[in-house]
Amino acid sequence: MSKCILQRQVCVDWQTQFPDIDPVLAKIYAARNVGSATELEYGLARLPPPTLMKGMANAVALLQAALQQQKRILVVGDFDADGATSTTLALRALRLLGAEAVDFLVPNRFEYGYGLTPEIVAVAAEKQPDLIVTVDNGIASIEGVQTAKQLGIQVLVTDHHLPGNDLPVADAIVNPNQAGCEFPSKNLAGVGVIFYVMLALRTVLRDDGWFEQQKIQMPNLAKLLDIVALGTIADVVPLDHTNRILISQGLARIRSGHCCVGIKALLEVAGRGRENVVASDMGFAVGPRLNAAGRLQDMSIGIRCLLTDNIAEAKSLANELDELNRERRSIEADMQDQAMQHLENLQLDDSAALPSGLCLFHEEWHQGVVGILASRIKERFYRPVIAFAVADDEYMKGSARSVSGFHIRDGLDAVATRHPGLIHKFGGHAMAAGLSLKRSDFDAFICAFDEEVRRHLSAADLHGSVWSDGRLTAEELTLELAESLRQAGPWGQAFPEPMFDGDFEIINRRIVGERHLKLLLRANQQADPVDAIAFNTVDDDWPKAVSHVRLAYKLDVNHYRDRRNLQLMVESIEPV
């Protein structure tokens, strides 16, 4: 698991910029282009106003009329964690604002696929909605929105995915990424977009005296920020200032116990303490359990877990999600073994001989897990990867993951433009996307995709690297610094958790959990030993005789039997 270690550049005078912050942390913030201490203020007053978002006035007018006339509102979400939290937030908020007839529908990914398709509109029509509100989808649902309109159903699209050249003929569209939108943050997750819509709706209802007329209390929508935080973290969107505010506020509510019982139950089943929860806990422990429902069965299980206020029901649903996640991990492990065997069968000597854009397919792969498989293969071989599974007798579905320098959604768009008809459907972001194509076109697509990747990435771009914030002295390797960094986030996509590098002597090493390397290290002869763990690696990665190694690592706090100690989370390891 050796990777090239590169040093982050600090472009500002961090000592002057952050005079009141610990020097280690000040350098870390400066390396992430934090220009002033104001960007580290995470109060709600720092959020940009909803009025800056294009289409907001039309969206609010549509929802206000629906509430005043008590129309039937149907929320149609996506089948991932962002979709689940977006759906949950929409229902909870609308009910708090006085809606009486509001329900949800999440397409089963195996029957209907992604988005507001004509097929899912037909299912929705059975519920006789007056208004459909899409969350975390809809911007590409041209045919589905048209079908709904033909049936006399109004449609409000709320989404954050990149729009195509054509937009659906919805009654209103709210998406910070649509052309002409002046909202400064283009990185909101779907749950962030619908949260903003609910904030704007509450303001208009307040100004029109709605709450007095209905004799209901005006709700504090900040109570829903725990759900916003979960969805934003799980969707791995870039953590700009706006998203850091939303996450920070949500995590604070979770730590204080002011969160929905579903999140409490998910943290408990994952073995994470609520009082000390940070973004990585939500991303690596809660998010995957929520996603497991949409990957293997039906995301309504996850939505019900987040919607319920009954503790017993929440625990039961959280346990069901935990079991699904265990099943998902087992399926993923088998698929990963199959993928690696496939690569070995290609008889390529090393990763340099692999295609620049890697496409993998197996008849038995699970459609709901190919996205995770693509991520694992991408991490190992550091290149854009698309993993495909069978959709039906004619079509296959792929989940794509990319690396820095190649915008995967734009890359698929370029392939579709150069090879009309080759891709059936596609959509996504810079680093992740989904697509479908005919099984008979797979070989042609393999060549076209690799050709497109080669247009943007050279061989030098396909080497994994780790960006380090520098070396820590033996005196700085402390539990206190680890705890300080843990609370200094939220860390995440485009605002990465601090990484350090250094040389260590190996005192002891052993394999734990069959796949993880446990180490006892010493920075120098005078330093105290420190624990370290390298996940998903084995002792075979470097010679047994090696006594000194160079690491890239993160600082972590290990909790074990009411004890806390410093632990290094190893990202890269190589002999010295």
Let me know whether 454 and 506 are in one domain.
no
pLDDT value at residue 543: 57
Helix (H) or strand (E) holding 134: strand 131-135
Give me the CATH number covering residue 415.
3.10.310.30
In terms of domains, do 85 and 203 share one?
Answer: yes
| 226 within domain boundaries | yes
SS (H, E, C) 179-206: CCCCCCCCCCCHHHHHHHHHHHHHHHHH
Burial 454-477 (b: 16+ CB within 10 A, else e): eebbeeebbebebebbbebeeeeb
**CATH number of domain containing 544:** 2.40.50.460
Reported confidence tier of residue 216, pLDDT bands at 50, 70, 90: very high
Q: Classify strands 131-135 and 154-158 as parallel, antiparallel or unpaired.
A: parallel
188 and 82 part of one domain? yes
CA 283 to chain centre: 7
Structurally, how many domains does the chain consist of?
Answer: 3
Q: Indicate whether 542 belongs to any domain.
A: yes
Report how far residue 424's alpha carbon sits from residue 444's, in angstroms, rounded to the nearest whole number. 13
- CA neighbor of 189 nearest in space, from 142, 247, 251: 247
Residue 419 and residue 496 in one domain: no
The answer to whether the beta carbons of residues 444 and 419 sit under 8 Å apart is: yes
Whether 294 is in a domain gets the answer no
12 is a domain residue: no
Write the DSSP string, 313-370. Answer: HHHHHHHHHHHHHHHHHHHHHHHHHHHHHHHHHTT-SSGGGS-SSEEEE-TT--TTTH
The C-alpha R_g of the chain, in whole angstroms, comes to: 24
> With 60 as the cut, is the pLDDT of residue 351 above it?
no
Q: What is the CATH number of the domain that holds 155?
A: 3.90.1640.30
Q: Is the pLDDT of residue 78 over 60?
A: yes
Q: Summarize pLDDT for 470-508 with one digit per residue, the tens.
A: 999 988 999 999 999 998 999 999 999 999 999 999 999
452 and 529 housed in the same domain: no
Query: Which one of 259, 275, 302 terminates a domain?
Result: 259
**Structure confidence at residue 350 as a pLDDT band (50, 70, 90):** low
Any idea how long the chain is? 576
Q: Are 91 and 104 in contact (CB under 8 A)?
A: yes
| Same domain flag for 510 and 557 | yes
Amino acid at 547: S
Whether residue 267 lies inside any domain: the answer is: no
Over residues 82-106, the mean pLDDT reads 96
Please give the helix or strand (H or E) that residue 91 lies within, else none. helix 81-96
The residues that bridge with 381 in the sheet, in sequence order, are none
Residue 507 shares a structural domain with residue 360: no
Q: Is 152 exposed, middle or buried (CB count within 10 Å of its CB: 0-12, 13-18, 19+)? A: exposed
Query: Which of 88-92, 114-118, 341-345, 548-552 bottoms out in mean pLDDT, i.e. has the lowest?
Result: 341-345
> Are residues 233 and 86 part of one domain?
yes
Would you say 322 and 289 are in contact if contact means Cβ atoms under 8 Å apart? Answer: yes
pLDDT band at 542; cut points 50, 70, 90: low
Annotate 34-90 with DSSP letters as a single string: --SGGGG---GGGSPPGGGSTTHHHHHHHHHHHHHTT--EEEE--SSHHHHHHHHHH
Measured in whole angstroms, how far is the alpha carbon of residue 167 from the centre of its chain? 25
- What single-letter amino acid sits at 330? S
Query: What 3-state DSSP class applies to 487?
Result: helix
Of residues 498 and 460, more confidence is placed in 498
pLDDT of residue 112: 66
Per-residue pLDDT tens digits for 96-117: 999 999 999 987 766 666 789 9
Cα separation, 49 vs 45, in Å, equals 9
Threshold 0.85, pTM exceeds: yes
Q: Does residue 518 share a domain with residue 430?
A: no
pLDDT at residue 559 above 90? no
Task: Report the relative pairing of strands 516-522 and 358-361 from DSSP bridges.
Answer: unpaired
pLDDT band at 1 (very low <50, low <70, confident <90, very high): low
* Domain end point (choices 462, 479, 502): 462
What is residue 12's predicted lDDT score, i.e. its pLDDT? 62
* Full DSSP string of 410-443: HHHHHHHHHSTTS-SEEEE-SSEEEEEEEGGGHH
| Domain match, 529 and 453 both | no
Domain assignment present for residue 306? The answer is: no
pLDDT value at residue 431: 85
> Does 373 share its domain with 247?
no
Neighbours of 16 (CB within 10 A): 8
Count how many Cα atoms sit within 13 Å of the Cα of residue 444 in the half-sphere of its side chain. 13
Cβ burial of 19 (10 Å; 0-12, 13-18, 19+) is exposed
Q: Amino acid identity of 30?
A: A
60-69, 126-135, 167-176, 368-377: range with lowest mean pLDDT: 368-377
- The answer to whether residue 141 is domain-embedded is yes
Q: Are residues 70 and 171 in the same domain?
A: yes
Cβ neighbors of 212 (< 8 A, separation 6 or more) are: none
In three-state secondary structure terms, 275 is helix
Q: Is the dihedral of CA 434, 237, 192, 272 positive or negative?
A: positive
pLDDT per residue as tens digits for the range 11-44? 667 667 777 888 899 999 999 989 888 999 999 9
Taking residues 261-273, what's their average pLDDT? 95
Where in the sequence is the domain holding 401, given as residue range(s)? Answer: 346-462
The pLDDT value given to residue 339:
81
360 close to 386: Cβ distance less than 8 angstroms: yes
Describe the strand order of the beta sheet including 172-174 as a list of residue ranges. 102-105, 73-76, 131-135, 154-158, 172-174
Say how far apart CA 342 and CA 358 lie, in whole Å.
Answer: 12
Closest of 215, 41, 212, 62 to residue 133, by C-alpha: 62
**Residue 269 forms part of a structural domain:** no
Find the range with the poorest average confidence among 129-138, 193-202, 321-330. Answer: 321-330
Cα dist from 517 to 306, 451, 468, 541, 552, whole Å: 36, 38, 21, 10, 15
| Count of H-run helices and E-run strands, the chain | 19, 17
- How is 500-513 classified by DSSP, letter by letter? EEEEEEEEEEEEET
Where is the domain boundary, 196, 228, 259?
Answer: 259
